[in-house]
Amino acid sequence: EGPVQGGLGRVGNLEKPLDEGRLIQLVKESLHLSHLKVVPGSHAIIQRVAVCGGSGGSLVEAACQKGAQALITGDVDYHEGQLAHSLGLMVIDAGHGPTERVVLPWLQQQLEQALTLRKEALPVFASQVNTDPWCFY
């Protein structure tokens, strides 16, 4: 479904509803993460999910307005987490970098296709450098 406020994210329905634990596990596996910050929601089963790569904590209210039961993003601050909790919205904060890195292969492919159409012979590389400053112990 269309953009969540300003085109920063997307809201859609999962093909198959999931409980919170399974959604958490799916995000960890998909983004190759060992841990996540999570604000538990008030829904036993999650069907409608909002996603925003990078820093999407400011979209808590917009996600709720679009009927999302969960928001997957990065950089959710304390007060945004409190707001989500008060609204019953599950929030998965998977980190700024991991939620953006997932798009790099797709972006590389799009740029390669655009250059090919223009008959430009330029190589396109997706950076393999991890610029995430956070370390977890």
**Domains of the chain from N-terminus onward:** 10-100 (3.40.1390.30)
Q: How is residue 58 written in tokens?
A: 């400011």
Query: What's the rounded Cα separation, in Å, for the pair 5 and 105?
Result: 25
The yes-or-no verdict on residue 4 having pLDDT over 70 is: no
Please give the average per-residue pLDDT across 85-95, as a whole number. Answer: 98
3-state secondary structure of 90: strand
Percent of the chain with pLDDT over 90: 81
Amino acid letter, residue 63: A
Please give the average per-residue pLDDT across 32-38, as a whole number. Answer: 94
Q: What is the predicted pLDDT for the residue at 27? A: 98
3-state secondary structure of 95: coil
Q: What is the predicted pLDDT for the residue at 2? A: 52
pTM to 2 decimal places: 0.86
Query: What's the rounded Cα separation, in Å, for the pair 70 and 130?
Result: 27
The yes-or-no verdict on residue 69 having pLDDT over 50 is: yes
Q: What is the predicted pLDDT for the residue at 26? A: 98
